[in-house]
Amino acid sequence: MVLLKAIGADQQRRESARALAGRLGRVVQVDRGECEVMTDDGRIRVSSDSQRAQGDVAPVTGDWVTIVPGPEASPAVEQVLERRTLVVRRDPAELARPQHLVANADVVAVVHGLDRRINPAQLERFCVVAWQSGAAVAIILAKADLCRNPEKDARKVSDLAPGAKVVITAALPGEGLREVAAMTEKNRTLALLGPSGVGKSTLVNALMGTEVQATQKVRSGDARGRHTTIARRLIPLPGEGSLVDTPGIRMVGPWDAWEGLAAAYAEIDALDHQCRFSEDCWHQGQPGCAVAGNVDPGRLRRYLELAGELADQDLDRARRPRH
């Protein structure tokens, strides 16, 4: 049996649950109207009322919750405890709405398969979302056994993701698995993000030592995969710590992610504060601009595109009527 301590339960969370007169649990997976929750007594299915399921406090994978008897004595989620981190993206179905992906991850790792070319814009977008979560950020370069020079790609990724830990892995030979496992030590949770087919589920299976997640071959033409993982799921590791495997995301949209943008483009953000035009400058080469000409033009262009998206989101929210 997996005890809650092994997946991150601490004294503060237990005291919070006791104060609310509920049983502590951690959400493993969310289904429509129900959740699978891990407790000290094992996994149980619990209900979540329709209002909460549609609200800002709807449980998501990784949440710590209190459980109380519900209708007909069946267990139900009473309250979602305060989240320490939260991975959020713009809802792909609606431009002006957030979608909560994973709560309480200690490390968010963006996974890239080395059987495909590095897409700087895609990688940087994932990094913005990862940094905005409040968790530590890592980049896992998977499938190194299918790449001629993984160290060269690692250097390129380090330039695209300043401040993030970069780990090269090859799941089947076992390369790099110890470094990834170290991210889950001391009962921490590691959330994996990335497009389909980059090797997230294969990595989970390698760390577990058994096949717990289904995998599929990628297309030979462009190395793209299918959505093998269909739900965000928290998976306790043998011993201590946990992983969250997520369905593939081709292009992630940041949401209200100004802090994540600053962290993902740290060198641009540092120069931005030195610019004589301050907040009024969009770094297009004006005389006296401290940014234009001093950073990689491609990164600056992508930074400005993302800043424009976030500014448009702010304006859209300001225009919407308040209820």
Task: Judge if 102 and 23 occupy the same domain.
Answer: no
Average pLDDT rounded to a whole number, residues 115-135: 97
Say if 255 falls within a structural domain.
no
> Per-residue pLDDT for 145 more than 90?
yes
Say if 252 falls within a structural domain.
no
Task: Judge if 101 and 239 occupy the same domain.
Answer: yes
Mean pLDDT is highest, among 52-61, 244-253, 312-321, for 244-253
The two structure tokens encoding residue 65: 């919750």
The two structure tokens encoding residue 58: 């709807």
Rounded to whole angstroms, how far apart are CA atoms 162 and 160?
6
Domain hosting 277: range is 265-319
Q: Which of 49-53, 132-136, 261-265, 307-311 has the lowest mean pLDDT?
A: 49-53
The one-letter code for the residue type at 111 is V
Say if 260 falls within a structural domain.
no
Task: Judge if 178 and 216 occupy the same domain.
Answer: yes
Task: Judge if 106 and 168 occupy the same domain.
Answer: yes
> Where does the pLDDT of residue 210 fall: very low under 50, low under 70, confident under 90, or very high at 90 and above?
confident
Task: Judge if 95 and 68 occupy the same domain.
Answer: no
Q: What is the CATH number of the domain that holds 34?
A: 2.40.50.140
Say if 155 falls within a structural domain.
yes
Task: Judge if 149 and 233 occupy the same domain.
Answer: yes
Dihedrals φ, ψ of 93, to 5°?
-90, -20
| pLDDT at site 86 | 98
Say if 257 falls within a structural domain.
no
DSSP string, 235-295: EEPSSS-EEEE----SS----S-HHHHHHHTHHHHHHHTT-TTGGG---SS-TT-SSTTSS
Task: Judge if 12 and 123 occupy the same domain.
Answer: no
What burial letters (b/e) apply to 149-181, b meaning 16+ CB within 10 Å? ebeebbeebeebbeebbbbbbbbeeebbbeebb
CB 61 within 8 A of CB 233: yes
Say if 259 falls within a structural domain.
no
Say if 36 falls within a structural domain.
yes
> Where does the pLDDT of residue 317 fall: very low under 50, low under 70, confident under 90, or very high at 90 and above?
confident
Domain boundary among 245, 276, 301: 245
Rounded to whole angstroms, how far apart are CA atoms 168 and 152?
11
> Where does the pLDDT of residue 6 fall: very low under 50, low under 70, confident under 90, or very high at 90 and above?
very high
Q: Which of 36-40, 64-68, 98-102, 318-322 has the lowest mean pLDDT?
A: 318-322
Task: Judge if 237 and 98 occupy the same domain.
Answer: yes
Q: How many domains does the chain have?
A: 3
Task: Judge if 35 and 172 occupy the same domain.
Answer: no
Task: Judge if 167 and 311 occupy the same domain.
Answer: no
Secondary structure (3-state) at 90: strand
> Per-residue pLDDT for 73 more than 80?
no
Task: Judge if 91 and 186 occupy the same domain.
Answer: yes
DSSP string, 207-225: HHTS--S---PPPTTT---
Q: In this predicted model, which residue has the larger pLDDT, 223 or 217?
A: 217
Task: Judge if 194 and 93 occupy the same domain.
Answer: yes
pTM: 0.88
Task: Dump pLDDT digits (tens) for 79-99.
Answer: 999 999 999 999 888 767 899
Say if 280 falls within a structural domain.
yes
